[in-house]
Amino acid sequence: MPEKPYTPPYSVTDAMIHLVAEISEQVGVVTVKNESAVNPHLRRDNQIRTIHSSLAIENNSLSLEQMTDVIHGKRVLGVPKEIREVKNAYEAYNLLLSFDPCHIDDLLKAHKILMLELTNESGRFRSGGAGVFAGSELVHMAPPAELVPKLISDLFHWVKNADTHPLIKSCLFHYEFEFIHPFADGNGRMGRMWQTLLLSRWKPVFHWLPVETLIRERQNEYYKVLALADKAADSTAFIEFMLRVIRDSLRELIQTEQVREQVTEQVERLMMVLGNETLSAKELLERLGLKHRPTFSINYLRPALELGLIEMTVPDKPNSSRQKYRAIKKTK
């Protein structure tokens, strides 16, 4: 008698159905507003935020500014291991869309990039035991190493063939992956990144949406719900948690866009006084008749930069005393 295909244990709840509907509606709004409008700088900044949050969950102490400097090839004083983590993560996320989320070989390839020089078993399933820790507390003991290849194979077969909504499927994969804990190190990073890949295959907006920023903000709840799902031998609670994270991340993005729309008048004023000249922040403040530097930065300068309307003359040193700004000429 043929072996029955593996199906992860979970239940579809009313909360899930409502969250999936709400997220789908939000994705529609974000896609219409942003698909052609979001400039490369904003996408890159969100990607760096994602990497910073994912590594911060794993106790990387580098600040967002330090990670940005590392990614831009600048010298940063820090723990070499943490600097290597940033470089690896940036390379892995840049290649993310080239991976097939249903191919185990691509999973191993991504892990090798992500954990290069950080573990002796990069790109290979673990050879020994492993556990999930919240600080010093063991919240999950992973299955024995010899079971990992079969468990991962079953999971990937389910991901490829299950007729399940991509939102639910991505969250369920995330939980099952962390339960199996297939690698000696880097499981949290890989699980979150692979969920992003699965979501990106559904809707491209998820490639640059920093969901992991909100996971970091709810890190304690993240570990608690992992432990709760373990105890219940059912991932329903974890799926609901992750769907709320995704919904809130989209909600935050939409609110940010609404604020940006509200300051359009200020941006237009900035562009008028700038004209074809190259001016410092001080000169722009004077021409706009403003005295409060934070207001100028939040309502005028930053939105114009994010919208790709102006550029810095010293982009590698945003806070340089020689910094000036000029309009970006549009090519036909």
The annotation status of 234 as a binding-site residue, yes or no, is no
**Adjacency order of strands within the sheet including 310-312:** 278-279, 325-327, 310-312
The yes-or-no verdict on residue 123 having pLDDT over 70 is: yes
The dihedrals phi and psi of 137, each to the nearest 5 degrees, come to -90, 125
Top pLDDT among 318 and 126 is at 126
- Work out the burial of residue 53: count CB atoms within 10 Å of its CB; fewer than 13 is exposed, 13-18 middle, 19 or more buried: buried
Closest CA to 185 of 130, 254, 108: 130
Mean pLDDT computed over 121-130? 95
* DSSP classification of residue 314: S
The response to whether 308 counts as a known ligand-binding position is no
**Winning range, highest mean pLDDT, from 178-187, 209-218, 302-311:** 178-187
Q: With pLDDT > 90 as the criterion, what percentage of the chain qualifies?
A: 63
pLDDT of 332 over the 50 cut: no
Place of tokens 């399933």: 125
Q: Which of 157, 181, 207, 292 is catalytic?
A: 181
Residue pointed to by tokens 């579809």: 12
Lowest mean pLDDT among 48-52, 85-89, 112-116: 48-52
111 carries an active-site annotation: no
pLDDT of residue 303: 87
Among 271, 255, 273, 281, residue whose Cα is nearest residue 307: 271
In the chain, the domains with their CATH numbers are 14-259 (1.10.3290.10), 263-327 (1.10.10)
What is the rounded distance in angstroms from the CA atom of residue 294 to the CA atom of residue 275? 22
- Annotation-wise, does 69 bind a ligand? no
Q: Is 311 helix (H, G, I), strand (E, B) or coil?
A: strand
Strand duo 137-141 + 131-134: pairing: antiparallel
Q: Where are the beta strands (DSSP E) in the chain?
A: 131-134, 137-141, 278-279, 310-312, 325-327
Q: Is 123 annotated as a binding residue?
A: no
Q: Tens digits of per-residue pLDDT, 243-294?
A: 999 999 888 878 766 666 665 788 889 999 999 999 999 999 999 999 888 8
- Round the average pLDDT of the chain to a whole number and report it: 89
What's the pLDDT score for residue 153? 97
In this structure, are residues 73 and 57 in contact, taking their beta carbons and an 8 Å threshold? no
What is the pLDDT averaged over residues 158-162? 96
In tens, the pLDDT along 22-64 reads: 999 999 988 876 554 455 666 777 788 889 999 999 999 999 8
CA end-to-end distance (rounded Å), the chain: 66
CB atoms within 10 A of CB 149: 12
The verdict on whether residue 185 carries a ligand-binding annotation is yes
Distance of alpha carbon 297 from alpha carbon 315, whole angstroms = 16
DSSP string, 188-225: HHHHHHHHHHHHHHH-GGGGT--HHHHHHHTHHHHHHH
> By mean pLDDT, which of 27-36, 100-109, 307-316 is the weakest?
27-36
pLDDT (mean) for 311-332? 85
Tally of residues, the chain? 332
Q: What is the pLDDT of residues 7-18, one digit of tens each?
A: 999 999 999 999
**Mind listing the pLDDT tens digit for each residue in 142-157?**
999 999 999 999 999 9
Q: Are strands 131-134 and 278-279 parallel, antiparallel or unpaired?
A: unpaired
Q: Taking Cα atoms as reference points, which of 51, 1, 287, 13 lies closest to residue 172?
A: 13
Q: Residue 99 in contact with residue 113, Cβ under 8 Å?
A: no
Does 90 count as an annotated binding residue? no
